[in-house]
Amino acid sequence: MGAIDLGIVILSLLALLAFAGWLARRQRSTADYYLGGRHLPAWALGASLAANQVSAVSLVGAPAFVAMREGGGLLWLQYELAVPLAMALLVVFGVPVLRRAKGADVYGAVETRLGRGARRTLAGMFLLGRGLGAGVILYTSALVVAACSGWELGTSLVVVGLVAIAYTTLGGLVADVFSDVLQLVLLWGGTIVATIVLGVRLAGTGALGKIDTSRLVPIDAGGTGLGDGVTFGFLPMLLGGLFLYLSYYGCDQTQAQRILAARDERSARKALTVAALVRFPLVLTYCLFGVLLAGLLIAEPDFAQRVAAAGDKNALVPEFLVAYLPVGVLGIAVAGILAAALSSIDSALNSLSAVTLEEFMPGVAKEEGRRSVLTARGLTVAWGVWATLTGWWFSQAGETVIESVNKVGSLFYGPILALFVLAWRSRRADGRSAVIGALAGVAVNLVLSETAPSVSWLWWNVSGCLTALVIGHGFGRGSQEAPAEEETAAPARGYVVTLVVTFAVVLGLLGVLTAVFGS
């Protein structure tokens, strides 16, 4: 990366830091820092929800999965079928439950029914799972910087980590949300441009016709993933994905914090619907880019050797950027990827800080004034250091980053979802049985990961949830507080119809692609 490209990247990062510093002057309480004063618009929250998971990790990981992973290809698109179904359930049942939380910590929504122990268990699972996930995101960002700058990976991790810590510590949730919107536009637009340029380059080479057609089939209905070694079959990706996305968007602090930041329930439902509508076309763009990169690996052996020499599938996109983008455009592309990475990192660090403060320093969390905000920022710095260290650990894992981040989540998402369901509807569950059930769910997933490699890790979301539900409900002794009854169907009906139609359209498109390339 030359001086011009490096200058563009530095200027963009300085602009982001200046924006975060300007926002820092407007923060007077933890409600401002963690929830944006509860006045953020639904469209921005929805775009932020979509951008958080589908960002730099997806830009680097999805094309690598499509183009290079054995058993990969467009099968990743099956995962997107679960998103509108999960959002439909959340707009009906999840929003009223989550909005019961009084502070910035969404896990307060279960305390009334299941007690402080269940809340602490949820918080602990989140801190562990998301703390590791933040490391994956940092590693992805550092990989791009290392490839483009020529720096060592360790140096790149430190640089990206320091910038992420500074930006998140200053800006709070408002900076998170609006930078998410900006990076969504930049990254999506940049990917479309790169896809078009690559398509023109490959036109007439015949390389696309040489791609293994199995990579172009998005639905694999031939395996269950239950001992047959089929990791990315239709059932595990649909059902496992449904449980994962219910937990991710409804029970993960990084996402549910945005539901708490909405003005009211209607705005929260609208934000979830916007996120579902944006996700599939964005992921489809990433995957089509991956298909063209598969063609490029065939058409230009020198590029294929360059990627192979990197020794990491995740190097595919960074190596493409360095090899094919002209001066100036490369700097803009790297700046966009870093902005995207920062938008995901800042959400993770902000939410980790929020849960830590409310769970372990509740007195400070309730204060209004400078001391509470400074404490919140100090906790953000601490989690940033942790993410940088775990990012180095994930750099040694050898998987595509999009798999790594979903595997980490799948260990915990099922049991976390179960605790919310028990608090919402079980009359038998109590705090003790719910906590034991959740811990047992995580233990079952860990056992499966070590002893049953032929079982798809996507099923961990289901196994962990069902284990926690059975133990939490079956061994409970009842609670004095009955589950609340909610009247949610009428105000959510329009959003549900939109989401069901979205599911049908996505399923139809994947079915057509499967019929064309699977014959």
- Work out how many domains the chain is built from and give that number: 1
> Shortest CA distance to 283 belongs to which of 360, 191, 199?
191
The pLDDT tens digits of the residues spanning 462-489 come to: 999 999 999 999 998 876 555 555 555 5
Looking from the CA of 449 toward its CB, the CA atoms found within 13 Å total 17
Distance CA 49, CA 47 (A): 5
Report which DSSP code applies to 484: P
Locate 165 and state its tokens: 């810590």
Side chain identity at residue 394, one-letter code: F
pLDDT at 277: 95
Contact by Cβ (8 Å): 231, 448: no
What pTM was computed for the model?
Answer: 0.84
Domain-embedded: residue 334: yes
Q: What angle do CA 133, 454, 399 make, to 5 degrees?
A: 35
Beta bridge partners of residue 331, listed in sequence order: none
Q: How far is CA 38 from CA 258, 259, 261, 274, 283, in A?
A: 9, 9, 4, 18, 29
Distance CA 136, CA 253 (A): 17
The mean pLDDT of 41-53, rounded to a whole number, is 86
Locate 470 and state its tokens: 């059975």
Contact by Cβ (8 Å): 180, 343: yes
Domain-embedded: residue 142: yes
Largest CA distance in the chain: 72
Domain-embedded: residue 125: yes
Domain-embedded: residue 300: yes
Distance CA 90, CA 102 (A): 19
Beta bridge partners of residue 368, listed in sequence order: 29
Domain-embedded: residue 338: yes
The pLDDT tens digits of the residues spanning 194-208 come to: 888 888 889 888 888
For residues 176 and 294, which has the higher predicted lDDT (pLDDT)?
Answer: 294
Domain-embedded: residue 409: no
Domain-embedded: residue 473: no
For residues 365 and 135, which has the higher predicted lDDT (pLDDT)?
Answer: 135
Domain-embedded: residue 509: yes
Domain carrying residue 13 = 3-229+268-395+489-517
SS3 of residue 230 by DSSP: coil
* CATH number of the domain enclosing 390: 1.20.1730.10
DSSP string, 30-91: HHHHHHGGG-B-HHHHHHHHHHHHSSHHHHHHHHHHHHTSTT-SGGGGGGGGHHHHHHHHII
Beta bridge partners of residue 455, listed in sequence order: 226
The mean pLDDT of 363-388, rounded to a whole number, is 82
| End-to-end alpha carbon distance in the chain | 44
